[in-house]
Amino acid sequence: MKYIKSHLGVKLFASYILVISIGMASIWVTARFTTPRSFDRHLRFIEESLGAGNGMMMGQGSGQPGGMMSEFYKSFQASFSESLIFAVLTSSLVALIVSFILSRSVIAPVRVMTNVSQRISEGHYDERVESQGTDELSQLALSFNQMAAQLEQVENMRRQLIGDVAHELRTPLTAIKGSAEGLMDGVLPAANETYQQIHAETERLSRLVNDLQELSRVQSKAIHLDIRPVDSARLIETVTRRMQFQFDEKRVRLNSNLPINPIIVLADEDRALQVLTNLLGNALQYTPEDGSVTISIERDKSVARIAIRDTGLGISPEHLANIFDRFYRVDKSRSRARGGSGIGLTIAKHLVEAQRGKIWAESEGENKGSLFVFTLPLQ
């Protein structure tokens, strides 16, 4: 019994045999108890039809025929039992063969999925199950393949993340190590400039760690959102006031086009300001001196569209699809020199989507500026 419980194929085969056995037993019992009465009823009908009286047909009632009819009944019962036994044996043999074939056909894809799942657990994420047909097992195989594809994607993302983080950490650590070795060897002077360089690299490391922590919380939906009606114009005024000094320091104009009538959105005010800060910081980073950045908002059906347009370096069409991927840089050397962590846009994307909005980027090409747009639902 334990062996049966632990093997699905044996369970299926046993269930087939049980159903067949119950069917055979039902046929046998039904035939055994209904045949005498049915035979007696038909003999009485023949007797009445032939008008033979009570001669040879006497004693046939109640299932107890006598005389020649008794012998005839016994011969009939024996031949019927013989035919029934032969039919039972033949059908049982055929049923056993068919049940065995059917149970193997049902259990085969399950065994394949078991073997493939074992391979996936060992790290072979490219394994897949062949899916044919539209039955439940085929649908299960399709779902299994989708799960395997997602696991492979997650594993690739994990490996890429480890590589990206290691790559991002290597540059500031190398600079700090080089400066420290220069100080120890006396190559670099123990001056404020050297210490400021080391401090700047440690600040960069700190920003990267903080951004990674924030990205992890956002992607795992571990952040708490306080969604409430917010005046979008007040959001823009707040973020422009906070970042005006940075724009003035770089000599980049920061313009804002605010609506005449208030546009109230449903959003988390702090997280919406974080999105705006990330997008404006990105625009400032890639806009040269004497350029401009314009932030505007307009109503579009059931959402508010907030757009940040700059006159900066622009984005080639082949980069637009990946611009929100973590650590993705259009110009890696320039971005790294300016100290960006490479995940600000990724954080902004997840925060916008968490507030039931959408975000995308547009650009006509290099040196033609960029446009970042995100939406928030209206009240």
């299960």: which residue's tokens?
140
| Percent of the chain residues past pLDDT 70, beyond the cut | 74
Among 81, 101, 124, give the residue marking a domain's end: 124
Identify whether residues 65 and 202 lie together within a single domain.
Answer: no
pLDDT score for 32: 67
Question: Cβ of 341: how many Cβ atoms within 10 Å?
Answer: 22
Identify whether residues 215 and 238 lie together within a single domain.
Answer: no
CATH at 309: 3.30.565.10
Cα–Cα distance for residue pair 24/326, rounded to 1 Å: 67
- Residue 173's φ and ψ, nearest 5 degrees, are -65, -40
Identify whether residues 141 and 39 lie together within a single domain.
Answer: no
* Whether the predicted pLDDT of 5 surpasses 60: no
pLDDT score for 19: 72
Cα–Cα distance for residue pair 210/213, rounded to 1 Å: 5
Identify whether residues 8 and 43 lie together within a single domain.
Answer: yes
Q: Report how far apart, in Å, the C-alpha atoms of 56 and of each of 70, 72, 120, 178, 222 are.
A: 10, 12, 81, 124, 95
Q: What's the domain count of the chain?
A: 3
Which has the higher per-residue pLDDT, 333 or 113?
113
Identify whether residues 276 and 349 lie together within a single domain.
Answer: yes
Residue 204: which pLDDT band, with cuts at 50, 70 and 90? confident
CA of residue 237 relative to chain centroid, distance:
39
Question: Cβ of 375: how many Cβ atoms within 10 Å?
Answer: 21
- Who's near 254: CB < 8 A, 6+ residues apart? 240, 243, 244, 247, 280, 292, 293, 295
Cα–Cα distance for residue pair 367/157, rounded to 1 Å: 31
Identify whether residues 72 and 54 lie together within a single domain.
Answer: yes
Burial category of 234 from C-beta neighbours within 10 Å (exposed 0-12, middle 13-18, buried 19 and up) = middle
Identify whether residues 118 and 178 lie together within a single domain.
Answer: no
Q: Tell me: the pLDDT tens digits for 151-162? A: 887 788 778 777
Mean pLDDT rounded to a whole number for the chain: 78
Of 165, 206, 220, which Cα lies nearest the Cα of 354? 220
pLDDT score for 360: 93
Domain encompassing residue 163:
137-219
Burial category of 263 from C-beta neighbours within 10 Å (exposed 0-12, middle 13-18, buried 19 and up) = buried
Q: Tell me: the pLDDT tens digits for 351-372? A: 999 999 999 999 988 888 899 9
55 is a domain residue: yes
132 is a domain residue: no
94 is a domain residue: yes
Burial category of 294 from C-beta neighbours within 10 Å (exposed 0-12, middle 13-18, buried 19 and up) = middle
Q: Report how far apart, in Å, the C-alpha atoms of 254 and of each of 246, 262, 283, 369 are.
A: 10, 21, 10, 14
CATH at 156: 1.10.287.130
pLDDT score for 65: 46
Residue 349 tokens, joined: 């994307």
Local structure of 127: helix, strand or coil: coil
